[in-house]
Amino acid sequence: MIFETKRRSVFKAVSWRIWATVTTAVIVLIFTGELTLAITVGLLEVVAKMGLYFFHERLWTRIRYGRKEIAPFVLWFTGLPASGKKIVADEVTRRLREFGLKVERIDSHDVRPLFPETGFSPDEVDRHVKRAGHLAAMLEKNGVVVVASFVSPYRQSREFARQVAGHFVEVHMRSTAEACEKRDDKGHYALARNGEYRYFPGVDVAYEESSAPEIVIDVDDTDFDVAADQVYDYLKRRLLRVR
C-alpha cells in the first residue's frame, strides 16, 4: 500500500507555488507596470496559497470518494506440464503490474530450490504444493497479489491452497498429454516415457481435474495471448472492477 506523506505534500506545495507565483507576478507587472506591486502580490499569494494547498491535499487524503481499494488475491495456474501455464501467467502478471498492482510471481522453479530434498512422488508433490499454497497465502495477507503456476496435479493439494487463501482463483490450462508433448521442447515427456522420470503427470500418474475451477482455458484450441485475455477479462469483471 502506498500513501502520501506530509513531507511529500509540502514539497509538492512548494514546487507548485513557485511556478504559480512567478506567473501571478508577471501578470500583475504586465497590467500595472509596477515591479514593487508585482513582487508584493506574488509574496502574499505564495504564503496564502501554499497553506491552502497543503490543507486541501491533506483533506483529500481523508475522503474516500473516488478511491478504489482492490483486495489482494491468489491466481493459481494449474495443468499438465507444457500446457502453457508459465507463458500465460507471465503475461497476466505483466498486465496486472501495468494496472498498478503489487504482484508477486511464483513458479515451481522458484520454490523447489528452497527445498532441494523434495522429490516427485505423489506425497512429496502434495507437500510441495501445500508449501507453495502457504507462501501464496502469506503474501496475499500482506497485501500482495500472487500469480502462481504449478502443475499441482492432485486435487487435494489445490483445495488446500484454496482454503488457506483469502481470494483464490484457479485457472485450469486444459489440454491432453499428447498435445502437451508436442509443445514440450525440453523432451520431458520422452524422458518420462523412457522411464527416466517417475510420477510424471500425463504419463504414469493422472492429472486430477478440479470439479469447478473459476477459469478453464482449452489450450489446444486457444492462442496463449487469447488465453491471457480471457484470464485478465475475468479478473477485471470479478476482482479489479474496471469500468
Q: Each residue of 105-157: pLDDT tens digit? A: 999 888 888 887 888 899 999 999 999 999 999 999 999 999 999 999 999 99
156-213 tens-digit pLDDT: 999 999 999 999 999 999 999 999 999 999 999 999 999 999 999 999 999 999 889 9
105 shares a domain with 203? yes
- Pick the last residue of a domain from 14, 37, 61: 61
CATH classification of the domain holding 92: 3.40.50.300
- Integer Cα distance of 79 and 152 in angstroms: 7
Report the catalytic residues.
Answer: 152
140 shares a domain with 206? yes
- Between these two residues, 191 and 24, which has the higher pLDDT value? 191
78 shares a domain with 49? no
| pTM tops 0.85, yes or no | no
Residues in Cβ contact with 53 at an 8 Å cutoff, skipping those fewer than 6 apart: 12, 13, 16, 17
198 shares a domain with 170? yes
111 shares a domain with 41? no
Does the pLDDT at position 18 exceed 60? Answer: yes
pLDDT score recorded for residue 243? 45
User: How many other C-beta atoms can be found within 10 angstroms of the C-beta atom of residue 67?
Assistant: 8
- The total of structural domains in the chain comes to 2
110 shares a domain with 21? no
212-235 tens-digit pLDDT: 999 999 999 999 999 999 999 999
98 shares a domain with 41? no
188 shares a domain with 235? yes
Whether 66 is in a domain gets the answer no
Whether 86 is in a domain gets the answer yes
pLDDT score recorded for residue 64? 62
109 shares a domain with 48? no
55 shares a domain with 105? no
Whether 199 is in a domain gets the answer yes
Domain range for 33 is 6-61
Whether 67 is in a domain gets the answer no
203 shares a domain with 83? yes
